[in-house]
Amino acid sequence: MKLRRSLSGRITLVLTLLIFLAVSLSAVVTYAIYTTLEENMLDTLVQTESKRIAVRVSRFGDHWQQPFERDMGPSMYAWGETDTLLAPSMPEELRELPLGLHYIDKGNTGWHVQVADVMDGRLYVLYDSVVLVEQSRHFALALAGIVLFCTLLALFFSKAIARWLVTPINTMTERLTRWLPSDYKSAIPHTDEEARLMEIFNRAQDQVDATIANQREFTANLHHEIRTPLSIIRSDAELMLRHQMVNESERPRLQRIVHAVQDIKQSLESTYSLCHAGDTETRAEISLYDCVQDAIEGQNQDAENAKLVIKNQVDTAQRPSLNQHALMTVIRNILRNAIAHAAPATLTVTSLENGLQFTDDGPGIAADELSSIFERYFSHRRTDQLVDPQTAVASNTGSELEHQAGLGLAIAKRVCHMQSWQLEVTSPVSDGHGACFTLRFHHQPHNPA
């Protein structure tokens, strides 16, 4: 099994290898240049010396009187001879060389030989590079030592640089470790900084997932436990109002109880919707017409009381794949907003290519309010502007507006954000009246951090 190196170890290795390759390449190039210059220098030396000797011996005539032998040390020799006057000490293999410059490889050394016609014979100048070969070997060893020294120095500095580079990762890992509960702080089996950070992130994600699961379980239990008692309170209060089981002076109190229960149920539904709106596994193919119709039937009584006529003109063949619970939350809140602020009017729900459109012919929304319409509790501010405080207690409209929670459109906008949908509003629609809410769907839901 291949061992996994730590991030600092990999950085150290890479930096050291890069410096090693750079210094080694420089050493190789330097040695190649050195040997090339050395060879050229020796060739020039033997050529120059051959010319010098030729000029010198030619002063004594046009013929060799005797063989010419000269040890010009160190490692340089010269011979002159003719076919009849042979130099005894000259190596036999030189006589087979043609005119010109030659190099003879002798294993541990090399001969640089210049052959030239001088008088009636030939002149041979030889340089034995045995000394220079030894010096070249020493120079190569020196270069190898420099490479080794630079590599060790690079290893030392690379470790320091690697520690400096991974310091932010280690700092983040330590900080995340401090944030984790004690149950998640067991020993981390990895020595690699990247793997340690990933392990900490996985543990943090497990903690977040567990927290979200607990939150959803809590909201589900709360939704189940409180919804039934609230329904009983509201139904009993509505029966008492309908059958006039209380005095006329007590009716406003009972009406406030009904509205308060409705607000509590709406807040409870909204909390449950926000906790589960990000679920992608609950997506399924649904009928938009049926969803809108179900939402209308659920709000029918309140719409009739507010004199809001709702028309469902959604295409029955439109069946996208969506989170039905999130969609119903958005539709219900848009309908409740129209009941509270557009009535008396007519609200028409129509289909778009990839969404729905809710258009009413009510009073519309002021231009300075459009940018704040999706803020929390904004309906309270609208109520303060629309209702006269002196007549709000005696007016049924003022009583109804007073108990609006102001969370509907804010929740609808939040759910759309979690599903990567778009919810926009334009007003006026025509003749200075009306408002239009446009809901557009996207296929990739967004899971917020």
Asked if residues 411 and 275 have their Cβ atoms less than 8 Å apart, the reply is no
Give the integer Cα–Cα distance in Å for 43 and 101.
7
- Cβ neighbors of 71 (< 8 A, separation 6 or more) are 77
Secondary structure string (H, E, C) spanning 207-221: HHHHHHHHHHHHHHH
Class of domain 284-449: alpha beta
DSSP string of 250-271? GHHHHHHHHHHHHHHHHHHHHH
Which residues in the chain land under pLDDT 50?
1-3, 380-405, 444-449
Q: Under DSSP, is residue 314 helix (H, G, I), strand (E, B) or coil?
A: coil
Instruction: Decide if 405 contacts 263 (C-beta within 8 A).
Output: yes
Q: What's the pLDDT at 191?
A: 64
- The domain limits of the chain are 7-137, 182-276, 284-449
Architecture of domain 182-276: Orthogonal Bundle (1.10)
Q: What is the CA radius of gyration of the chain?
A: 49
Among residues 112, 105, 102, 100, the alpha carbon closest in space to that of 46 is found at 112
Give the phi and the psi of residue 278 in degrees, each rounded to 5.
Answer: -85, 0
* Residue 146 dihedral angles phi and psi, to the nearest 5°: -65, -40
**Residue 229 preceded by cis peptide, ω within 30:** no
pLDDT at 380: 46
Pairing of strands 110-118, 121-128: antiparallel
388: number of CA atoms within 13 Å, CB side? 4
Residues 6+ apart with CB under 8 A from 382: 341, 369
Give how far Cα 308 sits from Cα of 320, 361, 377, 435, Å: 28, 10, 22, 14
User: Distance between CA atoms of 179 and 199, rounded to whole angstroms?
Assistant: 14
Residues 318 and 288 sit within 8 Å (Cβ to Cβ): yes
Give me the architecture of the 7-137 domain, per CATH: 2-Layer Sandwich (3.30)
136, 129 contact by CB (below 8 A): no
Distance separating alpha carbons of residues 388 and 309, to the nearest angstrom: 26
Tokens of 383: 């109520």
Q: Which amino acid is at 440?
A: R
Provide the token pair at 60: 């004594």
Same fold, 7-137 and 284-449: no
Cα distance between residue 181 and residue 200, in whole Å: 12
Indicate the helix (H) or strand (E) that contains 290. Answer: helix 288-298
